[in-house]
Amino acid sequence: MKNNLKVARIQVNLTQQQLAKKVGVTRQTISLIEKGKYNPTLKLCLEICYAVNKTLDEIFWVDKGE
C-alpha cells in the first residue's frame, strides 16, 4: 500500500500532527498510512487529498501488480 503522502505533506508544510488534525484523525493513523501499513477508507483518502492539495491518483494510485 505504497503512496506519496509524506512528500505531499511536506510540500504543504504540515507535520503529521497538523495534517491529522486537519482531516480529523489521530497522528498515528497518518503515520501508519505514510508507512504504507494501513488501508485507509476512501473518505479519509479524499480528506487527505484536500488537505495537501492533490488528487487521489497523485497520492494513492498504484499500478496493478506493483
Partner DNA sequence: TCTGAATGTAATTTATATATTACATTTTAT
Partner DNA sequence: ATAAAATGTAATATATAAATTACATTCAGA
CB 48, min distance to a second copy, A: 10
Residue 3 touches DNA, criterion: CB under 7 A: no
CB 8, min distance to DNA, A: 12
From the list 11, 15, 53, 55, which residue makes contact with DNA (rule: CB under 7 A)? 15
Contact of 45 with 56, CB cutoff 8 Å: yes
Please state, in angstroms and as integers, the Cα–Cα distance from residue 4 to each residue in 13, 20, 51, 56, following that order.
Answer: 15, 16, 14, 10
d(CA 24, CA 18): 10
Question: According to CB under 7 A, which residues from 29 to 58 bind DNA?
Answer: 29, 31-35, 37-41, 43-44
